[in-house]
């Protein structure tokens, strides 16, 4: 499998490391408008890969080098400064994605390529990339709330003292401040969360849930305050998505994809079955009335931001 990564900043480099670590890619091409940066990253990663997998890693300054790519990951563009929201990046990153997508499409096989969007504000960038690429929506996939769902599962698992792997819980909607935690659909080992708490004498009071929601929604802000940016979590999320596509695993991931058409089109995260052709099916979990209303508001926020570009 050949993978191209466009944008080799903190996130692109972490994505390259994590994807190389899956051992699934035979070839990886790194592109950045700062050629020195992508060349240095390709050198460094190439040396690291010598300890693990046979993979050819090259830097390129011409989009012709991405020809034959099965997956193109786009992680180029401005990131959040401390205190900035993802939406604050909108206009800067519209210009970046509008520059990149036509160049990508001129060099890939539109019948098979999958585009993975990482650039924020994620859901609007998914809509823009899908429109510009004219690819089927199922093959322009955003990492969406994969990372938010992983954060939720981790925090909730610690709270109720079970393994993260036994927690089935999702964050839906925008990868941003209006995201929605689907408490009503959360399951622990096949048992609804409320019933699990009753049976195990765990109390998950409303205030505890609010604290969990706050920590999930603010995790990126906290990391950016302490580290300047976030990269390891998203690197692992992209590698997991690549693995799911490459192996046609058909796991359910909360990825973002454009649903609907015309004025009703909106990209946001829902639990979706992911396989070799991208998104193969989308699911609608049973939400409470309040959660469903919050999800509609989240969709409206994304659409409003898209209409503003």
- Catalytic sites, residue numbers: 175
Asked if 222 touches ligand NAD (CB under 6 A), the answer is no
The one segment of 150-158, 193-201, 227-235, 240-248 that binds ligand NAD by CB under 6 A: 227-235
User: Please, which residue, 44 or 197, has the CB nearer to ligand NAD?
Assistant: 44
Asked if 104 touches ligand NAD (CB under 6 A), the answer is no
How many angstroms separate the Cα of 121 from the Cα of each of 84, 85, 116, 142? 12, 9, 14, 10
User: Please, which residue, 24 or 77, has the CB nearer to ligand NAD?
Assistant: 77
Binding residue for ligand NAD, selected from 4, 19, 94, 100, defined by CB under 6 A: 100
Asked if 32 touches ligand NAD (CB under 6 A), the answer is yes
Asked if 269 touches ligand NAD (CB under 6 A), the answer is no
Q: Looking at the chain, which runs of residues are DSSP E strands?
A: 2-6, 27-31, 56-60, 71-74, 114-117, 140-142, 167-168, 171-172, 180-181, 187-188, 191-192, 251-259, 266-275, 278-282
Asked if 175 touches ligand NAD (CB under 6 A), the answer is yes
Q: Residues with Cβ < 8 Å from 125, sequence gap 6 or more?
A: 74, 93, 97, 117, 119, 142
Quote the CA–CA distance of 156 and 261 in Å, as a whole number: 36
Q: Which residue is nearest to ligand NAD (CB)?
A: 9
Binding residue for ligand NAD, selected from 186, 234, 242, 267, defined by CB under 6 A: 234
User: Please, which residue, 148 or 196, has the CB nearer to ligand NAD?
Assistant: 148
Asked if 39 touches ligand NAD (CB under 6 A), the answer is no
* Token output for 130: 């899908």
């Amino acid at each position: 499998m050949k993978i191209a990564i466009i944008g080799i900043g903190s996130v692109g480099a972490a994505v390259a490391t994590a994807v190389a670590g899956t051992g699934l890619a035979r070839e990886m091409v790194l592109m950045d408008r700062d050629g020195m940066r992508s060349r240095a990253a390709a050198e460094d990663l190439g040396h690291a890969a010598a300890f693990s997998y046979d993979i050819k890693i090259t830097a390129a300054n011409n989009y012709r080098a991405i020809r034959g790519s099965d997956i193109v990951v786009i992680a180029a563009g401005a990131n959040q400064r401390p205190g900035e929201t993802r939406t604050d990046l909108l206009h800067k990153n519209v210009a970046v994605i509008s520059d990149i997508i036509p160049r990508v499409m001129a060099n890939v096989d539109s019948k098979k390529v999958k585009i993975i969007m990482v650039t924020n504000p994620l859901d609007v960038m998914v809509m823009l990339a899908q429109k510009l690429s004219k690819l089927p929506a199922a093959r322009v996939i955003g990492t969406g709330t994969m990372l938010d769902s992983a954060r939720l599962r981790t925090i909730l698992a610690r709270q109720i003292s079970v393994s993260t792997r036994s927690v089935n819980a999702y964050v839906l909607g925008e990868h941003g401040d209006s995201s929605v935690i689907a408490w009503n659909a959360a399951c622990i080992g096949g048992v609804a969360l409320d019933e699990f708490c009753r049976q195990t004498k765990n109390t998950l009071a409303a205030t505890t849930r609010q604290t969990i929601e706050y920590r999930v929604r603010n995790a990126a802000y906290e990391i950016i305050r302490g580290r300047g940016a976030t990269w390891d979590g998203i690197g692992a999320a992209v590698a997991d998505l690549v693995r799911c596509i490459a192996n046609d695993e058909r796991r359910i991931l909360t990825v973002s994809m454009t649903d609907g058409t015309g004025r009703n089109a909106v990209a946001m995260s829902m639990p979706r079955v992911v396989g070799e052709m991208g998104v193969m099916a989308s699911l609608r979990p049973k939400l409470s009335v309040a959660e469903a209303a919050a999800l509609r508001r989240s969709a409206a926020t994304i659409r409003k931001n898209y209409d503003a570009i």
